[in-house]
Chain A
Amino acid sequence: MGETAPETDARRLAEDARDRVRFEEEALELADQVYRVARRMVSSREEAEDLMQETYARAFRSWRSFQPGTNLRAWLLRILTNLNIDRGRRVQRAPDMQPLEEGDYFLYNKLEESTQAPNPDEERVIERLSQDDAVSALSAVPHDFRDAIVLVDIGDFSYNDAAQILDIPVGTVMSRLHRGRRILKRELAERAVADGGDVT
């Protein structure tokens, strides 16, 4: 213990700087994955880019509140979700109580109907969907449901992580995911059938 107080301070500062640099590097390495989710949580690329910059600015400022060893990607998306809410982009509520008649086979049945070949295989059926259909159908799903789909199905988060990011119970994540996927399929069916034209 021959270290003097200034030496201890200097060492502490150096360790702090090293931890911060490591944190920033790790956060930046995750940027592509965070963006993938962010882009589909908002409606335009510009909004997603603004939100990413605000998120990273805040994350770099408050890096000490991140607990090493926990999920950094989820932590970043929690910040992003809060910022998105703060900016008033999420004021309208999803029409939660609207009845949804369509079940999980609805999209397949619609696509199969509009396929010329009798009893087509699934590959032929899925070919009726375009990338544009997928993007526009997803953006038509109400926010609350879309967030669950984007986090779990696009972002690969567990139900638990999604629940923490969205600050809702796990059961709510599951029910929104379930219903959201059905809404997505209904939206896809509308687009694909409209594109196809030959449906009776």
Chain B
Amino acid sequence: MSGFAIDPCDQCEELLQPFLDRDLSEEERMIAEDHLTGCEYCRKRYRFEEQLRRFVRQAVVEPMSPELKTKLAELRTPLI
């Protein structure tokens, strides 16, 4: 960022997370959407962020072992 005016791409970068979280005010959302309509640079980065979230979510899942599942079930209160 240089000078005193806010670079619109910098502003759009700041809005990326709350935009995808649907956590922007109506006014901020319109600012982001207006900018995205005309800016391929930011559009690509927004699309990437969406894919990244999905990727991380899937990549870090490690299924629970069947042994642990059995152990948890054994912790149940025995039926008299």
Contact = CB atoms under 8 A, between A and B. Distances in A.
B56 A134 contact: yes
A31 B64 CA distance: 8
Contacts of A154: 56-57, 60-61
A138 B60 contact: yes
B60 A135 contact: yes
Contacts of A52: 64, 68, 72
A112 B68 CA distance: 42
A184 interface: yes
Interface string B34-72: 000000000011011101110111011111110011011
Interface string A45-64: 10001001100110010000
B76 A60 contact: yes
B79 interface: yes
Interface in A115-150: 121-123, 125-126, 129, 131, 134-135, 138
Interface residues of B, number: 33
A126 B52 contact: yes
Interface stretch (A4-12, A79-87, A88-96, A100-108): A100-108
A103 to B, nearest CB: 5
Nearest to A106: B13
Secondary structure at the B interface, as helix, strand, loop or mixed, is helix
B16 interface: yes
Secondary structure at the A interface, as helix, strand, loop or mixed, is helix
B6 interface: no
Interface residues of A, number: 41
A134 B75 contact: no
A31 B69 contact: yes
Interface of A: 17, 20-21, 24, 28, 31-32, 35-36, 39-40, 45, 49, 52-53, 56-57, 60, 103-105, 107-108, 121-123, 125-126, 129, 131, 134-135, 138, 153-154, 174, 177-178, 181, 184-185
Interface of B: 10, 13-14, 16-17, 23, 44-45, 47-49, 51-53, 55-57, 59-65, 68-69, 71-73, 75-77, 79
Given A36-B62, A126-B55, 11 more contacts: A17-B79, A28-B72, A36-B61, A103-B10, A104-B13, A104-B16, A104-B49, A121-B44, A122-B51, A138-B56, A138-B60
